[in-house]
Amino acid sequence: MLAAELRSFGARSVRETRAAVTFEGPLDVAYRACLWSRLASRVLLTLAEFPAATADELYAGMRALPWEDHVPVDGTLAIDVVGTTSGLTHTRFSAQKTKDALVDRMREQHDRRPSVDLQAPDVRVNVRLHRERATVSIDLSGAPLHERGYRTQGEQAGAPLKENLAAAVLVRAGWPEVAAAGGTLLDPMCGSATLLIEGAMMASDRAPGLLRSRWGFTAWLGHTPAIWDGLLLEADERAESGRETVPPIIGFDADRAAVTLALGCVKRAGFGGAVRIEQGDLAALERPAEAGASGLVVTNPPYGVRLGESASLAGLYAQLGERLIVAFGGWQAAVLTADESLAKAVGLRSSAAYTLYNGAIEAKLYRFDVSRDRVRAEVRKAPEARSAGAQMLENRLRKNLRHIGKWARREGVTCYRVYDADLPEYAVAVDLYQGARADAGRRFAHVAEYAPPATVDPGVAQARLAEAIEVVAEVLEVRREDVALKVRARQRGSAQYEKQADRNELVEVAEGGLHFLVNLHDHLDTGLFLDHRPVRSMIREMADGVRFCNLFAYTGAASVYAAAGGATAVHTVDLSANYLDWAARNLALNGFEAGTGGIRLFRTDAMRWLSEERRRVEGGFADQYGLVFCDPPTFSTSRGMTAPSFDVQRDHVALVDDAAALLAPGGVLVFSTNLRTFKMDFDALAPLHIEDITSATIPPDFARTPRIHHCFLVRRG
């Protein structure tokens, strides 16, 4: 969401990283991010990155920077340090060394130095220590951006939401679209009105930073007041114009003290006449007279974080669901809670669920379409109407979903296997895919049937498959049209690539903070091998600062991970134009453009390219690679290949030998294959150091099928 927001400000080279988004652009883009970002916490202007394994390296790198161009000599400063390196394990010590280097440089230049002010400095310097390096930035925001300026110190109701989290809740809940259509916003348990005020800001086109009087760039020597003043003028004009378009925004709370607090915040935010807040019990909630036929009910009710609290709150959530059904038919609703059982107590079937963190608490925002035909009790089919086998399948699926789902939520995994022929009568593999960004809120099931043996009556097999599809759709809460069925028979040659459907529907999903396109219906494989999730993560960790090559690249998922991990070059090789185009789109989804910054795509037979690249490397005409990933097909007879066919068992010795020849000293080849009977020929490859890491690369959702793939690390002697 933040990446999309920054692009709307004119940011370039937007790249999602862990807990941050990096971007490029002129100074006005950074100013606009400070003033207009509803989602960011801080805006940091990166000055430099340098080695900082030790205190001496940190001091030298900091002292080499031109601080006289950034910090007023008679001004004040503060140093924020996050992270550690091998020789810098205490952030207070690192901050002291940083400060010493900075003031020594300033004293050398001016015979004077700035002083330290930890509370309200003129310039705040941010230092991030990671992987033996320091990234040094100027904090342009100063105070965190969630401090909008309409609260007094310590003014907050119980279980507060930070303002940028409230904005994220509203975006995920679809409020911008509802507001644009003139719909109403209502919070029946509004507390200090954070959701309502943020909603009013969105609806009125009010910049969230417009009320702030202090910024981190005001005294920074690189500040350009004329640019900032122009942005402020524009924001004032937009706010004035937008105030006339605010739809009804209404809040209730049973606590009179919370209502008083909320009214004060609303008034200081400038929405005293636009946001109505009253004391009211949830049990008496009705649709207000001024509310239209459509709108959004959004709320952050209490949720139990201590043992036993959830049970006592279930009645509150059930009451909320009852009032939604009775009074808000045709509306949308969104509820933020950290307890899935409480979300189910609402009694409506959620249309989407998004993971968000309220401080350290992992919560989910559940969206509901409020109409009687969405009530959970009416959607579920009565168990007695099913066969005993189907009921067994339902029970197993629910058990697996509870177990694997808990792991997936903890790890942030949104696409995973939930069932793999656990019951012999229902020999299918079931994968759950949850959409992201443009496809957020959609859930898909990918069901791959293992072809039944000849001894099973075809009619019985067909009936069981139909039962499986019905059960999967219900348990995973997937629309029937979003269940993709494949028959996974043994296939050879070009048959493995033939289409099974022709919907041409690509769905965006997320994995490891990155985004990918999958095609769930048309081909046997979807475009993202879920069992390779740990391998891709390992590639990202190993790719930092090295040249990377992806052989038999398929849709380029490993290339995306390598680029995100900081590879200096990413070369992607595949014979298929369709897959390379898919790879380019996957790269672009994550802010990487093929043909720029060392990112190149090669459409050719990987075996031919590998042989030619080896000759170039050994002849000194091409650079070596620090990391190579090779995941060849089990068997292939594709047109355009040099040889008549490729067989991974037969041909892997030459393949591994050629790929290892591309490695720089200390480089690593990651070799993987999904041939379950594969045997690595260690003797023929004796000059190489080969380590079998298969067991470490099988994720928990594939624990039932540990032979789903083999994986090896290969190094040159």
Contact 278, 213 (CB under 8 A): no
**Mean pLDDT of the region 34-59:** 97
What pLDDT sits at residue 304?
A: 57
Q: If we measure between CA atoms, which residue out of 131, 107, 104, 108 comes closest to residue 50?
A: 131
Whether 2-139 and 163-205+244-377 share one fold: the answer is no
To the question of domain 2-139 being in CATH 3.30.2130.30, the answer is yes
**Mean pLDDT of the region 687-708:** 95
Residue 639: pLDDT above 80?
no
Distance CA 324, CA 374 (A): 12
Model confidence at 42, pLDDT cuts 50, 70, 90, reads: very high
What pLDDT sits at residue 341?
A: 75
Model confidence at 152, pLDDT cuts 50, 70, 90, reads: confident
Model confidence at 457, pLDDT cuts 50, 70, 90, reads: low
What pLDDT sits at residue 479?
A: 81
Model confidence at 358, pLDDT cuts 50, 70, 90, reads: confident
DSSP sequence for 381-443: PPGGGS-HHHHHHHHHHHHHHHHHHHHHHHHT--EEEEEES-STTS-EEEEEEEB-GGGTT-E
Model confidence at 415, pLDDT cuts 50, 70, 90, reads: very high
DSSP sequence for 140-200: SS-S-TT--S-S-TT---SS---HHHHHHHHHHHTHHHHHHTT-EEEETT-TT-HHHHHHH
With left for phi above 0 and alpha for psi between -120 and 50, is residue 650 left, alpha or beta? alpha
Residue 312: pLDDT above 80?
no
Higher pLDDT, 684 or 497: 684
What pLDDT sits at residue 89?
A: 95
Higher pLDDT, 441 or 667: 667
Residue 36: pLDDT above 90?
yes
Residue 377: pLDDT above 50?
no
Q: What's the CATH number of domain 163-205+244-377, 3.50.50.60, 3.40.50.150, 3.40.718.10, 3.40.50.11540?
A: 3.40.50.150
**What CATH architecture does domain 386-497 belong to?**
2-Layer Sandwich (3.30)
**Mean pLDDT of the region 324-352:** 86
Distance CA 41, CA 598 (A): 31
Helix, strand, coil in percent for the chain, rounding step 5: 35, 25, 40
DSSP sequence for 467-512: HHHHHHHHHTT--GGGEEEEEE----GGGGGS-S------EEEEET
What pLDDT sits at residue 307?
A: 36
Residue 50: pLDDT above 50?
yes
Q: Which fold has domain 529-716?
A: Rossmann fold (3.40.50)
pLDDT for 469-494, tens place per residue?
889 989 999 887 788 887 654 444 44
Higher pLDDT, 266 or 384: 266
- What tokens appear for 154 in the block? 């310590």
Report the SS3 class of residue 310.
helix
What pLDDT sits at residue 468?
A: 87
**Mean pLDDT of the region 697-712:** 95
Distance CA 61, CA 49 (A): 8
What pLDDT sits at residue 40?
A: 97
At 518, which amino acid appears?
V
In 507-554, beta strands by DSSP E: 507-511, 514-518, 547-551
Report the SS3 class of residue 654.
helix
What pLDDT sits at residue 462?
A: 64
What pLDDT sits at residue 353?
A: 92
pLDDT for 10-20, tens place per residue?
999 999 998 89
Model confidence at 455, pLDDT cuts 50, 70, 90, reads: confident
* HEC assignment per residue over 595-648: CCCCEEEEECCHHHHHHHHHHHHHCCCCCCEEEEEECCCCEECCCCCCCCCEEH
**Mean pLDDT of the region 390-406:** 94
Model confidence at 124, pLDDT cuts 50, 70, 90, reads: very high
Whole-number CA gyration radius for the chain: 29
Model confidence at 146, pLDDT cuts 50, 70, 90, reads: very high
Contact 252, 199 (CB under 8 A): no
Domain borders along the chain are: 2-139, 163-205+244-377, 386-497, 529-716
What pLDDT sits at residue 382?
A: 43
Q: Which of 169-173, 427-431, 460-464 has the lowest mean pLDDT?
A: 460-464
- Cβ burial of 19 (10 Å; 0-12, 13-18, 19+) is exposed
- pLDDT-above-70 percentage for the chain: 91
What pLDDT sits at residue 154?
A: 61
What pLDDT sits at residue 503?
A: 64
Higher pLDDT, 498 or 539: 539
Q: Mean pLDDT, the chain, as a whole number?
A: 90
Q: Report the DSSP pairing between strands 443-450 and 483-488.
A: parallel
What pLDDT sits at residue 334?
A: 97
Residue 499: pLDDT above 80?
no
Higher pLDDT, 599 or 522: 599
pLDDT for 234-259, tens place per residue?
999 999 999 888 999 999 998 899 99
Residue 374: pLDDT above 60?
no
pLDDT for 66-102, tens place per residue?
999 999 999 999 999 999 999 999 999 999 999 999 9
**Mean pLDDT of the region 303-312:** 48
**Mean pLDDT of the region 103-111:** 93
| Alpha carbon of residue 407 to chain centroid | 17
